[in-house]
Copies of this chain bind each other. A is one copy, B any other.
Amino acid sequence: MHKETLKVSGMSCGHCVSAIEGSVGELDGVKLVKVKLDDGSVDVEFDSSKVSLAQIKETIDEEGYDIAD
């Protein structure tokens, strides 16, 4: 199980939290996803044999948010 904290910009409200936690949480292999609006960050815990960090970032990107490298 891997843990990562991603810096994500543009998350501003409860709808954004739901959009990201919902979409990332649906990925097979993601155990936990937690958006922190105050930090502009997303904590994610996942099984890297089932899902890659790149796929998680892609999912967040598809919801319309920018991820810092």
A4 to chain B, nearest CB (A): 24
How many residues in A have their beta carbons less than 8 Å from beta carbons of B? Answer: 8
**B residues within 8 A CB of A15?**
13, 15-16, 19
Q: Is the CB of A13 within 8 A of B16?
A: yes
A12: interface (CB < 8 Å): yes
**B residues within 8 A CB of A64?**
14
Query: How many angstroms from the CA of A15 to the CA of B13 in the assembled complex?
Result: 9
A40: interface (CB < 8 Å): no
Q: Is the CB of A13 within 8 A of B14?
A: no
For A18, the closest partner residue in chain B by CB is B15
A69 to chain B, nearest CB (A): 23
